[in-house]
Structure 1
């Protein structure tokens, strides 16, 4: 990866944010492995030791569908039907089936998916998108206000303006400071 991706937003937004302006942080299976490792603590079902080109293609497909839906929502438009169908198809390719097992002292329900690694990965990411898109908080979705940033976020605070205060917020503040002091000369 050429730069470190921001993480910490809902998984579907973290995925969309792997494509900042002019850069794709998931160009190779190795890049995908690095991103999945960053998500491993939050989403252990994404742990894949050696992603393949097929896994990468599945992730790109889901990311493209999520991006199309979010772009429509940001512009108060109806999401494209083909993007919604694509997310539904990705989920259906490897649905989570809760299997009941005896854990020694209690019944345990464990979600299991059947299919190829690419299908499972696509299903997990599409399911995360479904959770995000159906959540009422999606109406708060914002694009970073920095001029050269396209990253998306769900603000925990209504006054949040940047994808990251450390990343874009500092750049904007420094530029403003420089502009004020330059014009004072």
Structure 2
């Protein structure tokens, strides 16, 4: 299984495993080995993240999606969403600290969760909450391609597409084809 887009904050990576631009929606985690591949990728980026089972992963994705939607819309999440997120965070008390990676200051988190699964759930909730800064800065974006539902953090002001090689390239080819059709029409 090759995911369309990985490498965004963990919460966005999880949300992007459900392609909602298709009818019916396509769950990339349904592909053989995809669930294990997703969690392997996340744990390579953050060794404190552990794999969750399919049911827990999908449940967490729904919760993270509701949080991200509220952040993206600049609204408060519904009470059940807030309650569920707080339940996860209470089960895995978090302590923050500062670190320097790649010459930049980062806020890191440790947890005193009883299980690795509780810690993973808390990390994904925190990943979603951290997106409020990107949303406020206008960097939390949806890919504008009609057949794409991917979200991403724009690392520069010009980034428009989830991937330049995928959606961006299809848009360029489409514009080129449209110009070619116009230029080859006979004039009267």
Q: 1:30 to 1:113 in 2, by over 3 A?
A: farther
1:33 equivalenced with 2:36 (yes/no): yes
TM-score (norm 2): 0.75
> Scaled by the length of structure 1, what TM-score is found?
0.76
SS in 1 for 2:130: helix
Check if 1:137 corresponds to 2:140: no
Q: Larger relative CO (CA 8 A, sep 6+): 1 or 2?
A: 2
Aligned residue runs from structure 1 range 45-56, under 5 A: 45-48=48-51, 51=52, 55-56=53-54
CA gap 1:12/1:174 in 2 versus in 1, 3 angstroms: same
Deviates more, 1:163-172 or 1:21-30: 21-30
Counting matched residue pairs gives 166
Q: 1:162 to 1:97 in 2, by over 3 A?
A: closer
Aligned with 1:85 (options 50, 68, 83): 83
Structure 1 gaps, min length 5 = 99-109
Aligned counterpart, 1:72: 70
Cα deviation 1:120-156 (Å, max 9, x = unaligned): 33222123223334xx222221111111111111111
Give the match for residue 56 of structure 2. 58
Q: Does the 8 Å contact 1:29/1:56 carry over to 2?
A: no
> Where is the strand percentage greater, Structure 1 or Structure 2?
2
Q: How much is the aligned-residue C-alpha RMSD, in angstroms? A: 2.6
Contact 2:49 2:120 (C-alpha < 8 Å) held by counterparts: yes
Q: Which residue of 1 aligns with 2:7?
A: 8
User: Structure 1's 90 and 59: CA in aligned 2 closer, same or farther, altered over 3 A?
Assistant: farther
Determine if contact 1:62/1:87 at 8 Å carries over to the other structure. no
The whole-number CA distance in structure 2 between the counterparts of 1:73 and 1:46 is 23
Unpaired runs of 5+ residues, structure 2, are 97-108
Given that residues 58 and 121 in structure 1 are in contact (C-alpha distance below 8 angstroms), is that contact kept between their aligned partners in structure 2? no
Greater shift, 26-35 or 7-16, is seen at 26-35
Paired with 1:120 and 1:32, the residues of 2 have a C-alpha distance of: 18
Contact conserved, 1:62 with 1:90, CA < 8 A, in 2? Answer: no
- Equivalent residue in structure 2 for 1:94, among 85, 92, 95: 92
Other structure's SS at 2:28 match: coil
